[in-house]
Structure 1
Amino acid sequence: MRCPYCQGEDSKVLDTSHDNRGIVRRRRECTTCHQRFTTVERPLLATPLIIKKDGSREEFDREKLLRGIRIACAKRPVPASAIERLVGEIESSLQRMGRAEVSSRVIGDMVINGLKELDHIAYIRYGIVYLQLDDLRAIRNEIDRLLKDEETSNGNKRTI
């Protein structure tokens, strides 16, 4: 691992930690300049090609997915770690499917379900485009459905 400070080629690992998504964090020390730095490693597993609505295919792009979810969560009290976790879970699910190609609809369903658990406003923002909520009545119906689901799960208490 090249040192980010002096570009030295050698470093020694001081500490290693793992998380549940297979990510490895290593605390390192450069043997040349003795500066310490952290590296993050994650496995690069094959992800399927995404089949778009128009039938075209493109590579799965983690950054594109992350960007879309961040836009839906803009100015909401959603921690960046929760967004990263959702994207990681979606990427892992796609890899576990073991398929060469997956419909973009599958990914959209994963995002919409994840946002529904994460933040209702972000869910509505994303849903306006994804669920094609193209008028106020459709948006109102979706909000009413969310409220009804929440009342049922909270014992008739409204928290939205």
Structure 2
Amino acid sequence: MRCPFCGNEDTQVKDSRPTEDNSAIRRRRQCPNCGARFTTFERVQLRELTVVKSNGKREPFDRDKLMRSMSLALQKRPVDPERLERVVNGMVRRLESSGESDIPTKLIGELVMDALANLDQVAYVRFASVYRNFREARDFEEFIGKLGDGDD
């Protein structure tokens, strides 16, 4: 593992332990060159996933991008980061075990919408406003109206 501080190719593992939900191995490392300490996470990857965007462009699936977008929607909301981590792990496992290697962005967006609806209603509306491209206040009103009806 390369040191993120000095770029040295050889770092030493000082401690390894599973994460709380046993979905990854947390490793504390130290660089013998500069002495810096850092943490890495090792996860099982069942298959290589490719995201297929609506314009046909393809790119490798990025778990961190999924985590960032959900974290952004949940910013300043009372949701425990460990709970978000478990939700994202579950979503990734679901995608990896689906049997498909090509995942449309629409499917990922709908999975995020479902997850946020169960985690936090404010984050759900925030994400929906971007995902569904709300253009004016009326769009929010209609969406929130549907929330009250239980349609969405």
Q: Give the TM-score taking structure 1 as reference length.
A: 0.69
> In the TM superposition, what is the alpha-carbon distance from 1:149 to its structure 2 partner?
2.7
> In the TM superposition, what is the alpha-carbon distance from 1:113 to its structure 2 partner?
0.6
> Residue 81 of structure 1 corresponds to which residue in structure 2?
82
> Residue 109 of structure 2 corresponds to which residue in structure 1?
108
Aligned pairs for 1:112-127 within 5 A: 112-127=113-128
> In the TM superposition, what is the alpha-carbon distance from 1:109 to its structure 2 partner?
0.4
Aligned residues: 133
Aligned pairs for 1:149-160 within 5 A: 149=150
Separation in 2 of the partners of 1:25 and 1:9? 14
CA separation of 1:43 and 1:116: change in aligned 2, threshold 3 A: same
> In the TM superposition, what is the alpha-carbon distance from 1:19 to its structure 2 partner?
5.9
Separation in 2 of the partners of 1:11 and 1:126? 39
What is the Cα-based RMSD across aligned positions, in Å? Answer: 2.9
8 Å CA contact 2:46–2:97 kept in 1: the answer is no
- 1:65-89 CA-partner distances (Å, limit 9, x unpaired): 1111111111111111122112111
SS of residue paired to 1:58: strand
Structure 2 gaps of 5+ residues are 1-9, 29-38
Separation in 2 of the partners of 1:96 and 1:123? 25
CA separation of 1:40 and 1:132: change in aligned 2, threshold 3 A: closer
Structure 1 gaps of 5+ residues are 1-6, 28-37, 151-160
Separation in 2 of the partners of 1:66 and 1:85? 11
Which stretch has the larger CA shift, 96-105 or 140-149? Answer: 140-149
SS of residue paired to 1:50: strand
> In the TM superposition, what is the alpha-carbon distance from 1:102 to its structure 2 partner?
1.2
> Residue 44 of structure 2 corresponds to which residue in structure 1?
43
SS of residue paired to 2:150: helix
Larger Rg: 1
Q: Give the TM-score taking structure 2 as reference length.
A: 0.72
Separation in 2 of the partners of 1:116 and 1:10? 39
The percentage of aligned residue pairs carrying the same residue is 32
CA separation of 1:42 and 1:148: change in aligned 2, threshold 3 A: same
